[in-house]
Structure 1
Amino acid sequence: NISKDYVVIIDFIGNYEKNFLIPIALSGNYTYNKDNLRRFVNEGSLLLPGASTINFDLISKKKIYESIDQAKFNDLKIIRDSYQELKYKLGKIPNLSDFDKYNSIDPLRIFQNKSLGSYHKFLSKYEKEYSIKFTPLQEKYLEYVSNKFAVGKRIHELLAIKLCIENKNNIITLLKKQLFNEYNIEFKEINYLPIINQLKQEFATGGAKATFQEAIFIDNNLNTHPQLIELLQNNNFKNQLLEVIDFGINRYKQNYSNPYKNTNLCLYQKYTYEDVCRLLNWEVNAVPLNIGGYKFDQRTNTMPVFINHDHDAGHGGKYSHRFIDTSTLICFSKPNRSIDSDEIKRIYNEANNHIQIHLFVRKNKNDTTSKEFYYMGQLHAIDKPINVKLPDNKNSAIQFTYKLETPIKEELFNYITNNI
């Protein structure tokens, strides 16, 4: 009946492993980002345009969440099916920008697939019409830029690599000028080192260090490395490197160009452990195991705090990190710290030491696809630290209370703290 201006749909969700397709179909979001889909199920009506509303009952939410948790969105079948659909629509091999333009799968799913790492690698393996060949070293450069920077979480590295491709000298000096003139970003000298280390493959630590160690962009004089200059004589390689960089610059402009205060971080955007170390301008990356919930970096005077909300809520009861409200959070130190320890004094002596404490929260620790945390802004310790016994009755910890500078927006707070 065309006089009706609404429709009610009632459906019964069974034990079906592809229930994750329901929020994809309803939202029209084919990026295959797990957390985006969870949020749609939780707050769909807030994310839908116009007067449309959508509600899932608790059982349906639970079934869909289970399906999302179990799905492997970097899976080759999903990537290949999405690619073929887009190629059929265009009648040609898609460019990277086409995936966004036609609302297809997010190319980051390709870049983050361990057997791929770059669009070139995907096409080489699965596209018969694609005949371009690169050396293993050229492939490493492409994978490094695709895997680390194409998401666009900061513009600095992308512009620096573009300057390297243009075969420039004094890369950091030119980068400083370009950041200020084109993006109104002040590039301070204390922050040069992490950029230089990434371009020289000296940022990664531990087992990850060997992965891209040959993909070097600058020499010790901060000029384009001769090895890269030679590889760039291959125009296909040069063009694909530029294509990935331009893709990343567009992502930056879309999602990350409005940073919080004087940081490189955007409120409510998602970041991995490595992103945080990089964007807080640490000299080298820290292995997540060594962070252990929070870590102080002396050179930058920053301390990120990482909270796994689902995980913490289920263990230790009142001894778990927990939100009191949208701006107040109770946290616990690592075991066996005393109130007089340097760690605790540092947190409570902010007036003198000007430490920057930043909060990162994730809803689901078991999301192995993205491993990302929402950035919630800067924290300040309030009240007094309390010495408490942990549930095992063997160890103690310090309980302290944080106040966020900016209260978490309500729909995100509800999503994070919801027990489903």
Structure 2
Amino acid sequence: MKSKRVDYILEKIKFYRHDGDKTKCLGFCATVEHAEFMAHSFNSLLGAGTAVALSGKNSVTQRQKYLQDLENDDTQLQYIFSRDIFNEGIDVQNINLILMLRPTQSSIVFTQQLGRGLRKIKGKEFLTVLDFIGNYQRSFLISSVFSREPNPDKKTRLREVSSDFNDIPGDTFIHFDKIVKEQILKQIDQEKFMSDSNQKKAYFVFRKDNGNKVPLLTDYIKRGSDLDPCLFSKIKKGSLLYHSYLEFVISAENELNSEESASLNILHKNNLFISLISFLETLLPAKRIEEWCILDFLFKNPSSQISVSELQDLMKKYVDYENIQNLRHACRVLSGEFWDSNENKKYSNIRFNFSADLISLNENVKALFKIQDNLSSEYKKWLLDFSEYAILRYDDEFGRNFYGFPFLKPYQKYSMRSLAILSNYEKIHSSFRGSGVIYNIPSDYFIFVDLYKEDLKKAEFNYDDRFITPSCLHWTGPDKWNQQHKIMSNIINHFEKGINTHFFIRKFKQVEGIPQDYIYIGDGVVFKDTVPKELVNPVFMDFTIHQIPDQMYTDFITKSDITNVE
């Protein structure tokens, strides 16, 4: 049987070649029949015994024998074609060629297949991977596999594919044919990555990888998933927003009509529990550990109260510093002292008790742990999962380190709400915002920069905020401030006045309707010579900043041509 497609595959194998003398190839096929067809075709063209098709019909012993033959330089076998059985769980070190011959709906499966050839062994110089894209409608998945970002958004995917992922470190080279690249870029541009349906597809794939069990938040960390479950709570289903990871899970499980959906729906009917979970979600991902140190203790000891001094001792388990002001402020955050009127309506029934330096759960929340059936264990399971996830992720991102006050780590992402917490802000936290500058802390000004403003056509002035070099930022102040404005004068003379100017950068306010957090790039020092001599408003000037990483600089100065930013 002669096939133009098989001829094409062999032509590309010959063109790109592989490491070593003998071909040692795994080919991933769409079906068992497809694997058998490929093996038969290769045997016809290259000689009997060159290829074999393996499937679930073959015993483990047979599979192991063929794998040994493939690795052996003295045997004739060069190609093994299979469907699924080699996606994971095998240890073959000297594979030098991977053929992707099947469409895939999942970047996870693609990565698993790729990983079969990435084992290191002495003398193995490189791996050749030939992806004969069959599923062009999902071809954008490859942008997830090779991205350096754990959760690449649309703009990052476009930039990385356009450049053939040229910022991947080491001797790794990726090349797309022109037609393939155009197809992938088109798919990325048209795809709504943050849609409810796409995020649920990703969830279902991870659920399968999780043993077909409903994933807890901690499962994403324990399994090393690139998915960020905190993003699920930002997804809209129609006009409605999920308020927590759990609400997203309940919706997904109902669509799946899973066995677990009934018990999850019972949890969802408890308004008190859902309010508590929704409040916890506002503290994720954790940017400081104090709140979660308190929560973890109280969820494990629901009838107890704990003092601030006892919390100081407990904090030694997580960090190498003490800050009693942070602990007291965290207690006040949990007590709802800084909620606005809407938050008071949503969370009034879960407000924590804090008085005389003692904090405890209120009686409503304590009752969740006293229900005499399986519900109590389910409530506790989810609450403890939230606290464990927050602590594990915090440890991964911040460790035991102290980053000063305000507690800001360079290149971390922050929302304005999280910055209110990190600043020990003592007013309503939803009011922690301003016209690009927040100056509530006398010694620390926060300057927020949107590099690409979607509303420029409405603006009277073209705000030309931009990076001049990786260590120099051009900034334009609020439009009504000239050099004589008190805060602007403080910014211009910040060095003499002992004021730190902290810069927070984002490219877009929103991507696909999802508000974007800011990236903290450190503090800056103004070049006074760049401040206009005559009075102008707005005022513009240059700042020297800590040199940002090359990849980040490239991303900031590259405006992706996307049509679905809003």
Normalising by the smaller structure, the TM-score range is 0.7 to 0.9
Are residues 1:281 and 2:418 paired? no
Q: Which has the higher contact order (CA 8 A, sep 6+)?
A: 1
User: What is the aligned-residue RMSD (CA, Å)?
Assistant: 3.8
Percentage identity across paired residues of the two chains: 21
Residue aligning to 2:369: 232
Are residues 1:251 and 2:393 paired? yes
CA distance in 2, matches of 1:256, 1:294: 26
Q: Deviations over 1:20-62 (max 9, x none)?
A: 43312444977465566466446834346x5222367999989
Aligned partners of 1:339 and 1:387 also within 8 Å: no
Residue aligning to 1:156: 290
Larger Rg: 2
CA distance in 2, matches of 1:140, 1:19: 40
Are residues 1:112 and 2:264 paired? no
Residues 81 and 241 (structure 1), Cα distance of their counterparts in 2 relative to 1, 3 Å cut: same
Residues 358 and 341 (structure 1), Cα distance of their counterparts in 2 relative to 1, 3 Å cut: same
Could you tell me the TM-score, scaled by structure 2's length?
0.62
Deviation, 1:286, is 4.2
Residue aligning to 1:400: 541
Q: Secondary structure at the match of 2:421?
A: helix
CA distance in 1, matches of 2:454, 2:498: 29
CA distance in 1, matches of 2:153, 2:333: 27
Aligned length: 407
Q: Secondary structure at the match of 2:429?
A: coil
Residue aligning to 2:439: 296
Aligned partners of 1:162 and 1:245 also within 8 Å: yes
Are residues 1:137 and 2:281 paired? no
Residues 317 and 43 (structure 1), Cα distance of their counterparts in 2 relative to 1, 3 Å cut: farther
Aligned partners of 1:365 and 1:371 also within 8 Å: yes
Residue aligning to 1:268: 411
Deviation, 1:137, is 0.7
Q: Secondary structure at the match of 1:276?
A: helix
Deviation, 1:364, is 2.5
Could you tell me the TM-score, scaled by structure 1's length?
0.81
Q: Secondary structure at the match of 2:478?
A: coil
Residue aligning to 1:414: 554
Deviation, 1:413, is 1.0
CA distance in 1, matches of 2:359, 2:461: 55
Residue aligning to 1:173: 309
Given the alignment, which residue of 328, 345, 363 partners 2:472?
Answer: 328
Residues 139 and 314 (structure 1), Cα distance of their counterparts in 2 relative to 1, 3 Å cut: closer
Q: Secondary structure at the match of 1:80?
A: helix
Residues 47 and 291 (structure 1), Cα distance of their counterparts in 2 relative to 1, 3 Å cut: farther
Are residues 1:53 and 2:53 paired? no
Given the alignment, which residue of 191, 198, 203 partners 2:338?
Answer: 203
Aligned partners of 2:272 and 2:350 also within 8 Å: yes
Residues 389 and 160 (structure 1), Cα distance of their counterparts in 2 relative to 1, 3 Å cut: same
Q: Secondary structure at the match of 1:214?
A: helix
Residues 279 and 17 (structure 1), Cα distance of their counterparts in 2 relative to 1, 3 Å cut: farther
Q: Deviations over 1:259-311 (max 9, x none)?
A: 645442221122222222222332232457x412111114x632211111122
Show the 5 A alignment for 1:12-161. Answer: 20-27=140-147, 31=151, 33-34=153-154, 37=157, 40-41=160-161, 44-47=165-168, 50-54=170-174, 71-89=191-209, 90-100=211-221, 101=223, 103=225, 105-114=227-236, 115-127=241-253, 128-130=258-260, 131-132=263-264, 133-134=266-267, 135-145=270-280, 147-161=281-295
CA distance in 1, matches of 2:131, 2:497: 58
Aligned partners of 1:73 and 1:369 also within 8 Å: no
CA distance in 2, matches of 1:66, 1:265: 38
CA distance in 2, matches of 1:312, 1:77: 26
CA distance in 1, matches of 2:312, 2:410: 24
Q: Deviations over 1:71-110 (max 9, x none)?
A: 4444332233233333333143333332331526322233
What is the letter of the counterpart of residue 367 of structure 2?
Answer: E
Q: Deviations over 1:118-155 (max 9, x none)?
A: 3433444443322143311111111221x223323222
Q: Secondary structure at the match of 1:297?
A: strand
Deviation, 1:360, is 0.8
Q: Deviations over 1:138-195 (max 9, x none)?
A: 11111221x2233232222211211332244344333333334531122142x35642
What is the letter of the counterpart of residue 469 of structure 2?
Answer: D
Residues 196 and 43 (structure 1), Cα distance of their counterparts in 2 relative to 1, 3 Å cut: farther
Residue aligning to 1:386: 532
Aligned partners of 1:160 and 1:171 also within 8 Å: no
Are residues 1:374 and 2:519 paired? yes
Note the residue ranges of structure 1 that are not aligned, 5 or more in a row. Answer: 391-395
Q: Secondary structure at the match of 2:353?
A: coil
Residues 267 and 28 (structure 1), Cα distance of their counterparts in 2 relative to 1, 3 Å cut: closer
Aligned partners of 2:413 and 2:520 also within 8 Å: yes
Deviation, 1:246, is 0.7
CA distance in 2, matches of 1:194, 1:69: 44
Aligned partners of 1:259 and 1:265 also within 8 Å: no
CA distance in 1, matches of 2:166, 2:193: 24
What is the letter of the counterpart of residue 320 of structure 2?
Answer: N
CA distance in 1, matches of 2:463, 2:201: 46
Are residues 1:341 and 2:475 paired? no
Residue aligning to 2:113: none
